[in-house]
């Protein structure tokens, strides 16, 4: 891509769309992996172990996991920086007549901005909770994610934080996936409608899938 392409709004929206799709692919896999919690502690903990030995014997222990982490961090940074730059550009492009009357960003834009900020904060919290154990309630045990997840969802605030974040995620994906389809060039009206349906289904499936874990612990289905 040339420099002008990077600097253009379309270039930045393309970066947002591609980085968003990378994170979405991760989330589909993560949500499916989380559902293994309904099949007991052995299966769930074995899955966490398999994530670390992925690619062996070609790769060393945890290398594949670290490659995934680097790609995800790059996607998060690219997504956030482009979003910030696009919103700065929006403000600068405002005609002067708005000086007296403060313009309001559209409902979708405001939801995406706040949703993005909530999700960014949530990801930091989530890593400190279930990956490093820094803010984990109770004794965090590396290699025993089943018990760690139960501990988290045995506190009221753990449930509130996760459920609010997952609802924000659902709304973000619903609008974001559709926007990505627009940017990457959908074309016809029929395809446009199809992408809207896919966006709604993806958002719903991910929301229900992720929320099922705290709900499972709260109702005692997972214990």
**Contacting residues toward ligand HEM, per CB under 6 A:** 27, 30, 34, 48, 51, 69, 72, 119, 123, 126-127, 130-131, 145, 149, 162, 165-166, 169, 210, 213-214
Residue 30 CB, shortest distance to ligand HEM, in Å, is 5
Residue 165 CB, shortest distance to ligand HEM, in Å, is 6
Residue 27 CB, shortest distance to ligand HEM, in Å, is 6
Residue 200 CB, shortest distance to ligand HEM, in Å, is 18
Distance CA 16, CA 34 (A): 26
C-alpha torsion angle, residues 182, 188, 193, 198 (rounded to 10): -60
- Which CB, 49 or 110, lies closer to ligand HEM? 49
- Residue 40 has which token pair? 């007991």
- Residue 26 has which token pair? 């991760």
Side-chain half-sphere exposure of 59, counting CA atoms within 13 A = 13
- Which CB, 49 or 193, lies closer to ligand HEM? 49
Residues near 52 by beta carbon (within 8 Å), at least 6 away in sequence: 61, 62, 65
Residue nearest to ligand HEM (CB): 48
- Which CB, 81 or 186, lies closer to ligand HEM? 81
- Which CB, 86 or 141, lies closer to ligand HEM? 141
3-state secondary structure 152-215: HCCCHHHHHHHHHHHHHHHHHHHHHHHHHHHHCCCCCHHHHHHHHHHHHHHHHHHHHHHHHHHH
- Which CB, 30 or 88, lies closer to ligand HEM? 30
Residue 9 CB, shortest distance to ligand HEM, in Å, is 26
């Amino acid at each position: 891509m040339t420099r002008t392409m990077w600097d253009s709004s379309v270039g930045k929206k393309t970066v947002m769309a591609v980085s968003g799709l990378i994170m979405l692919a991760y989330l589909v896999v993560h949500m499916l992996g989380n559902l293994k919690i309904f099949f007991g502690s052995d299966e769930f903990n074995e899955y966490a172990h398999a994530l670390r030995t992925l690619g062996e014997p070609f790769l060393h222990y945890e290398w594949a996991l670290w490659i995934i982490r680097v790609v995800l961090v790059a996607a998060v940074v690219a997504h956030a920086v482009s979003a910030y730059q696009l919103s700065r550009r929006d403000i600068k492009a405002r005609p002067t007549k708005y000086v007296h009357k403060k313009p309001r960003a559209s409902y979708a834009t405001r939801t995406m901005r706040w949703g993005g900020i909530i999700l960014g904060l949530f990801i930091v919290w989530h890593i400190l909770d279930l990956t490093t154990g820094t803010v984990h309630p109770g004794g965090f045990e590396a290699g025993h994610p089943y018990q760690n997840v139960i501990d988290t969802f045995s506190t009221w605030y753990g449930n509130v934080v996760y459920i609010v974040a997952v609802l924000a995620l659902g709304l973000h994906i619903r609008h974001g996936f559709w926007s990505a389809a627009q940017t990457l060039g959908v074309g016809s009206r029929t395809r446009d409608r199809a992408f809207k349906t896919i966006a709604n289904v993806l958002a719903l499936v991910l929301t229900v899938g992720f929320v099922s874990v705290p709900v499972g612990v709260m109702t005692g289905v997972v214990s």
